[in-house]
Amino acid sequence: MDEQLLRIRRTTSRFFELPPVEPEPRHFNDWVNSMKEPLRTMFRRLGYNQCKSLPGLCHFIMERKDEGLQEYMMRHLSPQDYRFWKEHRSQWC
């Protein structure tokens, strides 16, 4: 089980590293529009150029492409590890 936890933690960590996506202004606008105030105003003030490398924006894009955490874990874990992660994921996320 220790090895299983290590594999799950490693896979989760890889997901939360900055994903290899190139945000465009349209992605930034969609991301900001999905937020509630006061975050929406804060990120609009920061603007696209200051936010384009933020992990939150990159993960938003991945979610839009059906590359969310659950899909990522399903693709990168064995079926047994994935089942275990799904049953206990509230402990990690």
74 in a structural domain? yes
The pLDDT of 7-27, averaged and rounded, is: 83
List the domain range (segments joined by +) for residue 83. 1-19+67-93
- What is the number of structural domains in the chain? 1
**Whole-prediction pTM:** 0.58
Could you report the per-residue pLDDT of 20-66, keeping only the tens digit for each?
678 899 999 999 999 999 999 999 999 999 999 898 898 888 778 76
The per-residue pLDDT for 53 is 87
The per-residue pLDDT for 90 is 74
The per-residue pLDDT for 81 is 95
1 in a structural domain? yes
End-to-end Cα spacing for the chain: 19
Task: Give the Cα separation of 91 and 5 in Å (integer).
Answer: 11
Which residue has tokens 């299983």? 4
Residue with more model confidence, 70 or 82: 82
Q: How confident is the model at residue 1 (pLDDT cuts 50, 70, 90)?
A: low
10 in a structural domain? yes
4 in a structural domain? yes
